[in-house]
Amino acid sequence: MEQERYVHLNAWLKQKFGQRVLKICVDGDFTCPNRDGKCGVGGCIFCGESGSGKHRGSSSIKEQIENHLKSYRGQRAEKFVVYFQNFTNTYDSLPNLKKKYDEAVSASDKIVGLAVATRPDCIDEDVARLLQSYNDRIYVQVELGLQTADDETGRIINRGYDTEVFEKAVDILSRCNLDVVAHVMVGLPNENIENLKNTVEFLNGQKISGIKIHSTYITKGTKLCEMFERGEYKPLELQEYLDSVVYVLTHLRSDIVVHRISGDAPKDELIAPLWNSHKKLVLNGVDRILREKNLRQGQFCNKKE
């Protein structure tokens, strides 16, 4: 059997825990400082009203986890990572954060990990120490939205923080022995291959353990949708995106775990590009290019072009 050409999350989790591990996505009913006025309003231009996930209604965190566990019966997974996905999952008081995290990790003895998606401007020493306190019981991972290392693009997408803030957050988390996963978006407004090269080079110099590579897609009701309708933004074609992902993988440090290589837009909200709703096109397309060109993760890392 051919060896994997990049470090897949599923394979990494299986090696770490000795068996298949699945993620359980939960909504902790958080908001975002880029929505409530603390650092901005309206959120990033690609973010819809429901954030990166669906609203959970009135279900508690424990109920969400129990419902997921029921649905996973028969899928031969006995270990799970609880993933706080929607909006900014460290944006609350410490007592409230602790209450929500405690509820998640104690919901079942099948929970072996805690993953928290957040913004780098919502990480400080106190939050990091709280997350670190779970490290002796379960595996803890923090996801930080970078999207791009270009601060001008950051302003265009209304990110609300500079790249320096990301660096500081990574430093705080790494000193607490917490794994950091960086989110990167390909095809952002006004960006080209040079911007992507700079972002990959920047990440290679950071103490991160994982990466999520997202396609920039347009959903209903977003600022990016308005830009698209006015002709101010054109999304990438599928082949352009595939080539970009291959560039990232082959120039990325070989120790970084690849959590995903495409974003999943809600099909009922997706405006463009339509290929984004066909995840297999991306997965198979990237695998095909890597195989045909005999390429692997990290192959060109730190090599001058």
Count of beta carbons in the 10 Å neighbourhood of residue 11: 13
| pLDDT at 121 exceeding the cut of 70 | yes
C-beta of residue 235 within 8 angstroms of C-beta of residue 186: no
pTM (2 d.p.):
0.93
217-234: average pLDDT: 95
Structure confidence at residue 276 (pLDDT): 93
Please tell me whether the peptide bond between 273 and the residue prior to it is cis, using omega within 30 degrees of 0.
yes
43-55: average pLDDT: 64
How far, in Å, CA of 247 to CA of 195, rounded? 12
How far, in Å, CA of 116 to CA of 25, rounded? 10
pLDDT tens digits, one per residue of 246-279: 999 999 999 999 999 998 888 889 999 999 999 9
| pLDDT at 49 exceeding the cut of 50 | yes
Residues of the chain above pLDDT 70, percent: 93
pLDDT tens digits, one per residue of 284-303: 999 999 999 999 999 999 86
C-beta of residue 283 within 8 angstroms of C-beta of residue 289: no
Structure confidence at residue 168 (pLDDT): 98
pLDDT tens digits, one per residue of 50-71: 544 444 455 899 999 999 998 8
From the list 50, 185, 183, the residue with the least C-alpha distance to 120 is: 183
C-beta of residue 111 within 8 angstroms of C-beta of residue 149: no
| Confidence band, pLDDT 50/70/90 cuts, at residue 44 | confident
How far, in whole angstroms, is CA 210 from its chain's centroid? 9
| pLDDT at 1 exceeding the cut of 50 | no
The mean-pLDDT minimum among 66-75, 78-87, 230-239 falls in 66-75
Q: What is the maximum span of the chain, computed from C-alpha positions, in angstroms? A: 53
